[in-house]
Structure 1
Amino acid sequence: MRRFSLWLRGKPIVADSMLAFVLFVLEVFGVTTAESKVAFLAIGVFLPLPLVFRRIYPKAMSAVTLLLSFTATAVQYVTDDHKAEHITLFSLGIMLYTLVAYVGRRDGLWFAAGLVVDSVLSYAAVADKPASDGIFTVMFFALCWTLAEFIGARHAYDTEVAARLAVADYDKERRAHDAVSAERTRIARELHDVVAHAVSVIIVQADGARYALRRDPDAAEQALTTIAGTGREALRELRRTVALLRTEHAPDQLPQHGTAGLAKVVEMMRGTGLAVELELTGELDDIAPEVSLGVHRIVQESLTNTLRHAGPHPKAWVRIRRRDTDVTVDITDTGGVPLDEPAIRIKGSGMGLVGMRERIAVLGGTLETGRSPDGAWQVQATIPLNPGFPE
């Protein structure tokens, strides 16, 4: 039964056709009291018909119903059939309910005014109608209006709840999409920091080994050793990064940061021929892991850019200072190749600075890059010790 009622909700014409048929059947049972049976049955057939489409075309069907009611009053007056009681006149109350519940009070008032006129004409046509009929008619229409108000309020509530649920679903999908985008950005940033650094070192060392292979075999061997070591270190860090991204919490998989990690990066860059001076001020080993990782990646990416773009015999100065509320990172290099000195440059994707800015933005810090007045290239970052992550 429940399934049938749910099915009928989605088929308004079927349900309303059944309602019209029931009224017609009840009307047939009362045909014996009519003096003009043909006129009685004609009214019984046509008066319920607008109910079939009452929820699809409520305004048009209410006008048709009211017109049919006026016609029934006129037929009753012409045939002088005072005893005939049309059960199908209940369709007037049903149509009033439909207008108020599904269209609005304004249209319902217009229909109610038409009903008042029709009732006055009906009582004028039949002079001996008892007063109890009028009281019953008023109470019936009032009940239909009250029920329509209740159902209309329920429909409005259901509509509002459905709208809120739709908004909630949209917000949920948007948050999920934003989370996926943020995660993809984080993965891309981590992989870029690991791979770009290692590949840049490998390319520089491979070019050096190729040039020194015949003239200086020892230098070529040293370059190949650096390539092998850099490749192994990159592979280990890639594995750590992938393991970290696969799990929600994996502190034992974090790469080595802090002063030891910075010293290792600087040592590796020195092995490639980049002269680096490192200056550390304050305790850097007990800061938050995300801040330590941010400092590590900024130094790594900046020195990688120096190796790419600073020309032959490059030099860089790395100064990291912990203050009361933040950590400052200042990397300065020789600023590029003089115009009269040829050099081989490694082309990059241009995502290094973008990745650094994204990382600093996530940590709630600031990043400034550019040339100083003396031509040196500078990267200056400030990262708060207690970063606030966006929700």
Structure 2
Amino acid sequence: MRRFSLWVRDNPVVADSVLAVGLFLLDLTALQSSTQKPVFLVFALLLPLPVVVRRVYPRTAALALFVLSQLSTGLSGALGDHTLHPSSLGLGLALYTLVAYVGRRQGLFYLALLLADGVSTMLVLHQDPTTVVAFTITFYALCWTLAEFTGARHAYDTEVQARLAVADYDRERRAHDAVAAERTRIARELHDVVAHAVSVMIVQADGARYTLRRDPDAAERALGTIAGTGRDALRELRRTVALLRTEHAPDDLPQHGTAGIARVVAMMRDTGLAVDLELSGELDDVPPEVSLGVHRVVQEALTNTLRHAGAHPKAWVTVRRTGDRVHIEVVDTGGVPVHTAITGSGLGLVGMRERIAVLGGVLAAGREPSGRWRVAAELPVYRETP
């Protein structure tokens, strides 16, 4: 039933056609009183026709009804037939339609025409002025009042639909932003894992190739580092995939903390990068997301050092906690690698900035006057809640 009512609402011509047929049948009840039945029957057929399209073409239908009413009144008066067409009630429907669907200004103009039509009908058909005036005022006032209620309801429905459309758009936009943010987060995690591991493996592979004949033991150590780095990278990738496949985080997530930082530094030292590490403060007593952020910043900064800091690079890593802040500083010798050129994607610093921003911290990176490259970050231990 509801589906049928919605279909009728979306197809107004159907309901208005039924209304026009009703007006025609109402006219037939007055046919016996007419002295000019053929003329009366013709106008009984014509007068309801504009009602069919009153909501599709409200102005045209209203004007056509008025013109047909005037022709019917004039011709009937000329032929001496004083029978009134009951289908003239369609004029009130036209007034209602104009006020409800078009506007009050057009409704006022049409009401003036209808009042003039009522006066002319009263004079031509010699009707009782008191009855005509009372009926006309009451009928048209009722039509106008109903139109006001209908117009208010339509305005309310339109506003509700507009609000729903805005809400739908906002929901879709939020969903799109959430997906984009998640994709960015995943890309950042994969970059941190893969770029670091691959950079270490490339450097070690090149070192093993150079020392394979001259120093087999060094080449063997380099190959061992490559294997270990590959296993660690594979383990990290598996954990990342597990995070994506499950609703809750796995229980075996790594606790980065000081042990994780020390492990990264040890791995970089195995590649031949000289690293000095200084840790201070309660770094193991920070939230996991902050600990992971510290780990990733140190990892990415040292990876960049290995790539770009020259033939014999050295880095100084300082991580300290003071109160509710964690300070990270990674300084290297700067310069351009001589033996190996590893082209980066340029997303390392971007990823670090994004991660630090998400955690509510700040990051600065750049070359110092001495030529050294410095990466410094500051993170709140506990994020501020709004």
* TM-score over 0.5 for the pair: yes
Kept in 2, the 8 Å contact 1:244–1:253? The answer is: no
1:23 is aligned to 2:34: no
Instruction: Map Cα deviations across residues 63-97 of structure 1 (whole Å, 9 max, x no partner).
Output: 11111111122123212222x13111010011111
**Residue 379 of structure 1: CA displacement?**
0.3
SS of 2:326's partner is strand
How far 1:40 moved relative to its partner? 1.1
Q: Which residue of 2 aligns with 1:302?
A: 301
Give 1:121's aligned residue: 120
Q: Does 1:349 align with 2:345?
A: yes
Aligned to 1:203: 202
Q: CA deviation at 1:245?
A: 2.9
Please give the secondary structure, in 2, of the residue aligned with 1:250: coil
Structure 2 unaligned blocks of 5 or more? none
- Deviation for aligned residue 1:367: 0.9
Distance of 1:211 and 1:161 partners within structure 2: 73
Q: Which amino acid aligns with 1:231?
A: G
Q: What number of residue pairs does the alignment pair up?
A: 386
Match of 1:264 in 2: 263
Alignment map for 1:349-368 (pairs within 5 Å): 349-368=345-364
1:369 to 365, 372, 382: 365
Match runs of 1:89-128 below 5 Å: 89-128=88-127
- Give TM-score scaled by structure 2 length: 0.96
Q: Is the 8 A contact 1:311 1:344 kept in 2?
A: no
1:16 deviation in Å? 1.4
Shift of 1:139: 1.1
In percent, how many aligned pairs have the same letter? 65
Higher mean Cα deviation, 117-126 or 227-236?
A: 117-126
Q: CA deviation at 1:130?
A: 5.8
SS of 2:328 mapped into structure 1 = strand
- Asked whether the equivalents of residues 20 and 48 of structure 1 are also in contact (C-alpha less than 8 Å), the reply is yes
Q: Shift in Å at residue 251 of structure 1?
A: 5.6
Tell me, in whole angstroms, the C-alpha distance in 1 between the residues paired with 2:293 and 2:357: 11
**Does 2:9 correspond to 1:9?**
yes
**Distance of 1:17 and 1:337 partners within structure 2:** 85
Aligned-residue offset at 1:253 = 3.4
User: 3-state DSSP class of the match of 2:342?
Assistant: coil
In structure 1, how many angstroms separate the alpha carbons of the residues matched to 2:347 and 2:383?
A: 23
Counterpart-to-counterpart distance in 1, 2:129 and 2:190 = 91
1:236-263, CA deviations, whole angstroms, 9 ceiling, x for partnerless residues? 1111122123334326232231001001
**Is the partner of 1:253 in helix, strand or coil?**
coil
Quick one: which amino acid aligns to residue 168 of structure 2? D
Residue type of the alignment partner of 1:125: V
Per-residue CA distance 1:286-306 (angstroms, 9 max, x = gap): 111111111100000000011
Residue 200 of structure 2 contacts residue 229 of structure 2 at CA under 8 Å; is this kept in 1?
yes
Q: Is the 8 A contact 1:13 1:53 kept in 2?
A: yes
Give the drift of 1:3.
4.2
Q: Does 1:141 align with 2:140?
A: yes
Which whole-Å CA distance do the structure 1 matches of 2:349 and 2:3 have between them? 62
Instruction: Point out the more displaced range, 125-134 or 228-237.
Output: 125-134
The residue identity in structure 1 corresponding to 2:248 is H
CA-to-partner distance for each residue in 1:193-221, whole Å, 9 max, x for gaps?
00000000000100111111111110111
**2:155 corresponds to:** 156
Match of 1:292 in 2: 291
Provide the secondary structure at the position in 2 that maps to 1:278. strand
Which residue matches 1:233? 232
| Residues 163-202 of structure 1 aligned to structure 2 (within 5 Å) | 163-202=162-201
Q: What is the aligned partner in structure 2 of residue 47 from structure 1?
A: 47
- Could you say if the C-alpha distance between residues 193 and 4 of structure 1 is closer, same or farther in structure 2, counting changes exceeding 3 Å? closer
Counterpart code for 2:134: I
CA gap 1:128/1:89 in 2 versus in 1, 3 angstroms:
closer
User: Against the structure 1 CA distance between its residues 186 and 129, is the aligned structure 2 distance closer, same or farther, given a 3 Å change threshold?
Assistant: same
Partner residue in 1 for 2:322: 323
Q: What stretches of structure 1 of length at least 5 have no aligned partner? A: none
AA matched with 1:372: E
User: What does 1:56-75 align with in structure 2 at a 5 Å threshold?
Assistant: 56-75=56-75
CA contact (8 A) 1:241 1:254 kept: no
Residue deviations 1:133-161, cap 9 Å, x none?
Answer: 43122211111111111111111111111
Q: Report which stretch shifted further, 234-243 or 259-268.
A: 234-243
Q: Name which of structure 1's ranges 266-275 and 11-20 shifts more when overlaid on structure 2.
A: 11-20
Secondary structure of 2:84's counterpart equals: coil
Please say if residues 118 and 132 of structure 2, whose CA atoms lie closer than 8 Å, have aligned partners that are also in contact.
Answer: no
Shift of 1:278: 0.5
- More displaced 10-residue stretch of structure 1: 59-68 or 243-252: 243-252
Structure 1 residues 379 and 133, CA, compared in 2 at 3 Å: closer, same or farther?
Answer: same
SS state of the match for residue 251, structure 2? helix
Matched AA of 1:288 = P
Classify 1:283/1:119 alpha carbon distance in 2 versus 1 (closer, same or farther; 3 Å): same
SS in 1 for 2:214: coil
Amino acid corresponding to residue 14 of structure 1 in structure 2: V
Cα offset for 1:128? Answer: 4.5
